[in-house]
């Protein structure tokens, strides 16, 4: 990401006036390399302008890659792609290349002569769940990709003698001054929208941890059958099992994976393989936690239920002392700020079912037995003796989290105020001391 780049939405007939992005789709996401957030214009916009790109020779371009919304690729059809030199042409009047019109496609690739110097390989997205790459050009010989050559217009590759650059520059400055208050207001609105989006992102998770919290000296294995996380009637752990990363750790040294039981043959990944074998994920060395990462970012509010299947042939009491925790490793890579947790397990059951408010949207039915397609059955009127049931109160949890966060911010601000008061007091004493010495 180049921080000086200045992208904004505009109406082409009034191209120096910045227009709002749609809520939660800031134009600043255009070059973050994260691919998690899309950009979207407001209703009065017909152009995306990206300025302050370092001055580059068109012949040096290897490839320009634009990733579209895959599930709404038709929205890009009819757009045109152009390059300008705002240093010579501040009003963006003279397009430097032959205009390219977008068809409906998932990915757009524009290449020039520089592609012959590219040597980093190509990303084959066809058989990959993740259909984007920030360090390779996509493989373009098949699939829903539009590829086009950049054709430079030779008579426009230098500054133009027919342009009165000083007049153009003054005109540009006048226009920018005219819209400065509006642009500042828009920038403020977008900053507020980004703050709201960040607050919303704090309610997203992409990492699940199961860990033992007691500090007993005696080591107790973690040995479980299966973990399910149900969202929109789908167990998103098994559905994304090919991209998940999981391992056992000692929580005090969580960046050092530990080998699983029996020489590594019972790895943490067996927790979400849809196989209810009684001897599945099993710690080997001294480990008190299992971490599952790379879950697609998901709103906690969208979780219907988390279901944990315990070992049943023996050793079911090993589940006691464990709890399930949710984290967002995108903003918290060290997993220090837990978003939400279940209660600590204090009873030996075959299954532990944790229902979230969205359980009311679940419509796929319930199973009386172990199931990879349905949530295990439980009802207050006819409770299953082998199932522990808990309802997760998201609002209460996040209210407490926000209270703690606000309290921390207040303490920090009070500390700053006290520090400044002490500094001011010392300065007053020093001034008085100097004045007394000068008498």
**DSSP of 341-353, one letter per residue?**
E-PPP-S--SEEE
pLDDT value of residue 17: 83
Task: State the sign of the Cα–Cα–Cα–Cα dihedral 71, 75, 76, 77.
Answer: positive
Q: Distance between the two ends of the chain, CA-based, in angstroms?
A: 61
What DSSP string runs through 115-177? GGG--S-EE--TT-SS---SSSEEP-SSSSEEEEE--B-GGGSS--TTS-HHHHHHHHHHHHH
pTM, 2 dp? 0.50
Distance CA 90, CA 76 (A): 26
Distance CA 231, CA 216 (A): 35
pLDDT value of residue 4: 76
Distance CA 329, CA 135 (A): 21
Q: Please answer whether residues 248 and 283 qualify as being in contact, where contact means their C-beta atoms are separated by less than 8 angstroms.
A: yes
Per-residue pLDDT of the chain (439 residues; tens, 9 = 90+): 456 788 888 888 888 888 887 766 777 777 777 666 677 777 678 888 988 888 888 878 888 888 887 666 677 888 888 888 887 788 888 888 877 888 888 788 888 778 888 888 877 766 555 567 777 877 766 567 778 888 777 655 455 444 445 555 556 556 666 656 656 666 776 666 665 555 554 588 999 999 998 655 567 888 899 999 999 999 999 999 999 999 999 898 888 888 887 777 788 888 998 888 876 788 877 788 999 999 999 999 899 999 999 988 888 888 999 999 999 998 899 999 999 999 999 999 999 999 999 999 999 999 999 999 999 999 888 788 999 999 998 876 655 554 445 555 556 566 667 777 787 777 777 677 666 666 5
pLDDT value of residue 10: 87
User: Where along the chain do its domains lie?
Assistant: 6-201, 204-392, 402-439
pLDDT value of residue 221: 86
pLDDT value of residue 192: 67
pLDDT value of residue 335: 93
């Amino acid at each position: 990401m180049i921080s000086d780049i200045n992208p904004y939405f505009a109406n082409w007939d009034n191209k120096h006036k910045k227009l709002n992005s749609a809520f939660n789709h800031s134009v600043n996401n255009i070059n973050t390399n994260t691919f998690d957030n899309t950009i979207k214009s407001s209703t009065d916009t017909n152009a995306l302008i990206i300025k302050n790109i370092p001055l580059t020779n068109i012949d040096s371009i290897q490839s320009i890659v634009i990733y579209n919304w895959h599930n709404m690729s038709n929205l890009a059809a009819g757009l045109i792609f152009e390059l300008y030199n705002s240093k010579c042409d501040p009003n963006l009047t003279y397009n430097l290349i032959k205009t390219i019109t977008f068809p409906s496609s998932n990915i757009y690739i524009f290449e020039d002569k520089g592609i012959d110097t590219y040597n980093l390989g190509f990303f084959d997205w066809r058989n990959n769940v993740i259909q984007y790459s920030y360090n390779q050009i996509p493989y373009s010989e098949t699939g829903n990709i539009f590829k086009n050559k950049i054709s430079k217009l030779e008579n426009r590759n230098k500054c133009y003698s027919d342009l009165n650059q000083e007049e153009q520059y003054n005109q540009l400055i006048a226009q920018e001054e005219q819209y400065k208050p509006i642009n500042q207001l828009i920038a403020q609105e977008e900053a507020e929208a980004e703050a709201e989006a960040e607050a919303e992102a704090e309610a997203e998770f992409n990492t699940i941890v199961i860990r033992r919290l007691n500090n007993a000296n005696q080591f107790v294995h973690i040995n479980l059958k299966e973990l399910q996380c149900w969202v929109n009637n789908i167990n998103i752990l098994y559905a994304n099992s090919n991209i998940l990363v999981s391992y056992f750790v000692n929580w005090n040294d969580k960046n050092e994976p530990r080998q699983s039981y029996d020489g590594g043959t019972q790895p943490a990944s067996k927790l979400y393989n849809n196989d209810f074998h009684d001897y599945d994920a099993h710690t080997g060395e001294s480990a008190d936690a299992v971490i599952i990462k790379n879950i697609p970012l998901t709103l906690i509010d969208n979780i219907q239920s988390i279901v944990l299947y315990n070992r049943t042939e023996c050793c079911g009491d090993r589940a006691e002392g464990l709890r399930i925790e949710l984290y967002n490793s995108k903003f918290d890579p060290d997993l220090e700020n837990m978003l939400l947790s279940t209660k600590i397990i204090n009873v030996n059951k075959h299954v532990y079912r944790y229902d979230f408010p969205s359980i009311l949207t679940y419509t796929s039915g319930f199973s009386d037995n172990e199931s990879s397609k349905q949530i295990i059955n439980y009802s207050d009127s006819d409770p299953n003796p082998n199932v522990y049931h808990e309802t997760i109160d998201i609002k209460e949890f996040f209210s407490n989290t926000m209270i703690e966060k606000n309290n921390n911010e207040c303490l920090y601000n009070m500390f700053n105020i006290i520090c400044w008061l002490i500094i001011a007091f010392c300065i007053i004493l020093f001034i008085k001391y100097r004045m007394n010495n000068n008498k």
